[in-house]
Amino acid sequence: MTSSSSKRGEFAVIADLFAPLATHKGAYRLTDDAATLTPPRGHELVITTDALVEGVHFLPGDRIARKALRVNLSDLAAKGAEPIGYLVALSLPRNIRYAWLKTFARDLAKDQEEFGISLLGGDTTSTPGPLTIAITAIGHVPKGKMLLRKGAKPGDRVFVSGAIGDAGAGLALLKKGRTAPKALIDRYRLPTPRLALGKALRGVATAALDVSDGLIADLGHISEVSKVRILVEATHIPTAHDPVFAATAGDDYEIAFTAPAGTRIKGTTEIGRVARGRGVALLDAKGREIPLKKQGYTHF
């Protein structure tokens, strides 16, 4: 633990703040160092993990617990999975105080109640570096029904849920020291995992993923794995912002997917098509490719 919270001790902090979140019977109230899970009959487990680093994935001072959990639930949603629970590993700088941990645990509790999930375990450690939160989310899906990045075919159409670019606009405002419009800030700080949509896409989508690093960049993963070319029409992107900015900004946590022509799914917008070839292109109203300085966020 950290120097400011070590007066209670690591295990006291776990017992006080995190054991109450371990409601799944296989979590053993965090009294063991592992958990047990059995998926429903005819289902298989889906496991995903994301790490968020202060100053890289979120701004100093952000209340980050719920976003850290939701970005992982977004990954499960894009796989068509229903969430069961999660593990959390915290690397805490020495200036983190017990009050911060209480707020962190309380925020996790809010989302656990909303999404019907349980803490299953994790780890805490101190670090000389920035605050780092690594969450592993676990869900289940009927056997053979997990949505993959592979499977898009020429002739399929490309879709995306929700609105694109709002979170990126919210982040841009925060970097400028502005806190309005609040709706854009909220879209950045508290994404909505599209769990119901993910379930609805089982057996419908030919390929899917969540949009985290930018619409164009993430569609590039489908292009690469499915060995197809994806053409996105800028004027069809559901956004209130410049479409080039929206398509490359990131932090949307919507679901992008491909499906046969004629598919109609509530809450989604058809934005393009799948063709033969490789790569992703953003097209203007005349069908010309728009040059992009970047396709999205990259870590390396």
DSSP string, 5-37: TTTT-HHHHIIIIIGGG--SGGGGGG-SS----
Residues 136 and 198 in one domain: no
CA 120 – CA 275 distance, rounded (Å): 43
Q: What is the pLDDT of residues 203-224, one digit of tens each?
A: 999 999 999 999 999 999 999 9
Q: What is the pLDDT of residues 217-255, one digit of tens each?
A: 999 999 999 999 999 999 999 999 999 999 999 999 999
Residue 292 lies in a domain: no
Q: Are residues 169 and 228 in the same domain?
A: yes
The whole-angstrom separation of Cα 282 and Cα 271 is 10
Supply 100's token pair.
């911060």
- Residue 19 belongs to what domain range? 10-142
pLDDT tens by residue, 64-113: 999 999 999 999 999 999 999 999 999 999 999 999 999 999 999 999 99
Q: How many domains does the chain have?
A: 2
* Same domain, residue pair 91 and 165: no
- Indicate the average pLDDT of the chain: 94
> What is residue 12's predicted lDDT score, i.e. its pLDDT?
87
Q: Is pLDDT of 5 > 70?
A: no
What are the tens digits of pLDDT across the range 26-47? 999 999 999 999 999 999 999 9
For residue 298, tell me if it sits in a domain: no
Question: What's the predicted TM-score (pTM) here?
Answer: 0.94
Find out whether 284 and 290 touch, Cβ atoms under 8 Å: yes
Show which of 85, 107, 142 is a domain's final residue. Answer: 142
**What does the pLDDT read at residue 4?**
41
